[in-house]
Amino acid sequence: MVKAAILGATGYAGAELVRLLSYHPDAAVVYPASHSYAGKKFSDIYPGMKGVADMTLREDDIAAAAEEADVIFLALPAGLASSLVNEEILGKAAVIDIGADYRLHDRGIYEKWYRTGHHSPQLLGEAVYGLPEIHRADIRGRRLIANPGCYTTCSILTLYPLLKNRLVDTRGIIIDAKSGTSGAGRGEKLASLFCEVNESIKPYGVASHRHTPEIEQELSEAAGESITLQFTPHLVPMNRGILATCYARLRDGVSAADVEEAYSMYSGEPFIRIISTPPETRFVKGTNTVDISWRLDERTGNIIAMGAIDNLVKGAAGQAVQNMNIVFGLDETEGLMGGAGSPF
């Protein structure tokens, strides 16, 4: 039985982790922590978990967590994880950071885009980017996993086969993405209020969203060259879900058969479905699944690749559990199988 600690257990991603691990056959939450709600029961904060997760929340103390847990999940604001993780902690427990502190290989790029200092740059070389479909072999048995962002998971997996197989021009790639409001977190923000979001859609972080360098980093590695792309996120009035519509120019002579063969790299992946119709967020809601589809536009010479995920599951907590399973040699799908509910 893998013993888990969750620091930041009452945020949306942390709470989703509690939910998933509560039903995991080979894991148990032994140290649920929340600075804001220490001393309260988790089910008092999330009444839907009454009778399932009634444990008392503890203080966010990573040293205490490392004494009790085999794995520590960090669902904390940017900059905080890097100030907490050190060799002593990693000598006692594996760490899966759901935040951004260890995703980018370059400290300078991280500090530029996140506008905060990085306090343990010596660990950046040890951290593994936790996108299992691409880095599975590197994740096994490692101590520090950087869980990818939600927009990035969807965008990278949607485009990766095209870049890996050199089917598209690396210049001029555009990602137009939409997210539900839970992606903004549980904190009180004017821009996330119901009356501000309902019956509206808006772009944000235009030409400046912090997930941009993460997407560029992974797709550059896939292509074997440095990539600069255009990424624009949008906020839509729904609770969960991300839809990424990606545009790229096909290289001369690339056919539909070439594209189909490229996406066959995902054959056998338990959480990726290549579908014939454009994906919809409702069909992946509550699951760890990625739905991907594509279309060739012969008129423009472009490919439109589309992906959909649940931002709190495959985009956060579900992927973190998937990484935990791999790290500890469990069946990768444990605690994560199941389709979207109905009605959607």
Q: Which two tokens stand for residue 281?
A: 């967020």
Q: What is the Cα Rg of the chain in Å?
A: 20
Cis-peptide into 343, omega within 30 deg: yes
CA distance 185 to 12: 6
Residue 162: other Cβ atoms inside 10 A: 27
Rounded Cα–Cα distance for residues 169 and 245 (Å): 17
- Please list the residues that pair with 309 across neighbouring strands: 242
- Residue 21: strand, helix, or coil: helix
For residues 201 and 48, what is the distance between their CA atoms, to the nearest angstrom? 29
Spell out the residues 6+ positions from residue 213 whose beta carbon is closer than 8 angstroms to its own. 104, 109, 113
Instruction: Sort residue 287 into left (φ over 0), alpha (ψ -120 to 50) or beta.
Output: beta
246 counts as catalytic: no
112 torsion bin: left (phi>0), alpha (psi -120 to 50), beta (else): alpha
Three-class SS state of 14: helix
Residue that is written with structure tokens 């904390």 in the block: 76
Q: 286, 290, 256, 257: which is closest to 275 by C-alpha? A: 290
**Nearest one of 334, 341, 314, 270 to 28, comparing CA atoms:** 334
Query: Which residues lie below 8 Å from residue 87, measured CB to CB, with a gap of 6+?
Result: none
Q: Among 150, 154, 195, 246, which one carries the catalytic annotation?
A: 150
Residues carrying an active site annotation = 150
